[in-house]
Amino acid sequence: MEYMALLIPLAPFIMVVLIVWMNNQKKLAEKQLDATASSSAEKAAQYASRVQQLEDRVQVLERIVTDRGYDVATQIEALRDTRETEDRDAGVPLNLARKEKA
C-alpha cells in the first residue's frame, strides 16, 4: 500500500517521460525511413545507369552481327588489336605469365 501512495504523485512524471520517449521513437523511425528511401533512390539510379550501359553494349553487338558487309571475325580482331594497343599505352604488360616462363 505504501508503494501505491508513492506512485500516485509520480504518475504525471512517468507519463511525461513516456510521452517524450514516444516522440523520440517516432522521430527516429521517420529518420530511418528517410535514410532508407534515399539509399533506395541511389541504388535505383546506379542500376538504371548500369542497365543503360548494358543496353548500349547490346546495341553495338547487334549492329556488328546484323550489319551486312562486315566480317564479324575481322571486327573482333580489330577490337583485340585496339585493346592490346591501349594496354601497351597504359603500361600494362600482356601475357605476363608467358613472359615469366620464358
Please answer whether residues 82 and 76 qualify as being in contact, where contact means their C-beta atoms are separated by less than 8 angstroms.
no
The amino acid at residue 67 is D
Residue 99 lies in a domain: yes
Residue 57 lies in a domain: yes
What would the pLDDT profile of 73-96 be if each residue is shown by its tens digit?
777 777 877 766 665 655 555 555
Nearest alpha-carbon partner for 79 in 48, 57, 51, 55: 57
Residue 30 lies in a domain: no
Please answer whether residues 63 and 75 qualify as being in contact, where contact means their C-beta atoms are separated by less than 8 angstroms.
no
Range of the domain at 97: 52-102
pLDDT for position 4: 78
What would the pLDDT profile of 37-50 be if each residue is shown by its tens digit?
888 888 888 999 99
Residue 7 lies in a domain: no
Mean pLDDT score, 9-34 = 91
pLDDT for position 48: 92
Number of domains making up the chain: 1
Residue 76 lies in a domain: yes
Helices (H), ranges, the chain: 2-66, 72-90, 96-101
Mean pLDDT score, 5-28 = 90
Q: Quickly state the pLDDT bin for 35 (edges 50, 70, 90).
A: confident
Rounded Cα distance between 38 and 34, Å, is: 6
